[in-house]
Every structure is written in C-alpha cells, then in structure tokens.
Amino acid sequence: MSRSPERRAARALAAVPVAPVVVLLGLVVGGCSVTINGASGLSETEVEDSIAEEAGDKSGRPVEEIDCPGGLDPEVGATVTCSVVLAGVRSDWAVEVDEVDGSRINYGWEVVEGSQEIGSDALVEAIGDPFTE
C-alpha cells in the first residue's frame, strides 16, 4: 500500500538529522574580545564582523547572514540582539559586554532560547526531499 505524500513527509520529518542544530548548539555561548580606538564603542559592522568571524571559526561553517542593529556601547552590561543564520538555522543571539579594559571590549553571546528556525533548504539538505522519493 502506498503512503500519502503528507504521511511520507511526516515520517521524514520525524527522522530529521540534527547536524544543523548540533552546529548551532555548539555555539550557544561564545565570546569575542575587540580592541577599539576611541570611546565610541563598537559599530554595527564591527560587532557583526567579529561575531561572524568567531562563530565561523568555532563552527567550521561560515555565517550566512548576520544583522546586529546598532552597535555596542563601551560599558559593562550594554546589549544588542543579533539575527544570525548559521548552517541554515536562523536564530537570535543576545550579545552583552562583559568587560571594558581601556580600549578593549570583551563581550559574549548566547542563543536566545526558542528563537531557532531551520530553513527549508537546510531541512531538505538534511533529510532529502520526501516528495521525490
């Protein structure tokens, strides 16, 4: 008896490999240390570039998209929430300044719980297309 496409899709989704999610979970918490010139803090571009580099190094995969609206002020507790796509998974990352030492700003990030959304391309890559099998 042949299964309906909906049933095949549901079965395929139940067997989704977790590789993209594992990559992201390895980056639930991360951090950067950046030296700045002046007291203006980090621009949006500086925050995005440093997080993308660090996350790419840690995951072994390039950050596909990143948007950190605004920058980071050079004060402990300053925050920004970034939207990040890594390994086909879009999520929000809460970024917070941990320490300011002269011209060096240390900050860390963590993935906001429940913000992860796996993209359809990543899902098809992980499980294949159940409608073509």
102: left (phi over 0), alpha (psi -120 to 50) or beta: left
- Supply the pLDDT for residue 1: 47
- Supply the pLDDT for residue 62: 92
- Supply the pLDDT for residue 116: 83
Phi, psi for residue 25 in degrees, rounded to 5: -65, -30
- Supply the pLDDT for residue 87: 85
pLDDT digits (tens, 9 = 90+) for 6-33: 433 433 343 344 444 444 444 455 666 5
Q: Where are the domains of the chain?
A: 5-127
pLDDT digits (tens, 9 = 90+) for 57-106: 888 889 999 999 988 999 999 999 999 998 888 999 999 998 888 888 88
The answer to whether the beta carbons of residues 87 and 116 sit under 8 Å apart is no
- Residues 88 and 24: their CA atoms lie apart, in Å, by 10
- Residues 87 and 75: their CA atoms lie apart, in Å, by 32
**Lowest mean pLDDT across 31-35, 47-51, 99-103, 124-128:** 31-35
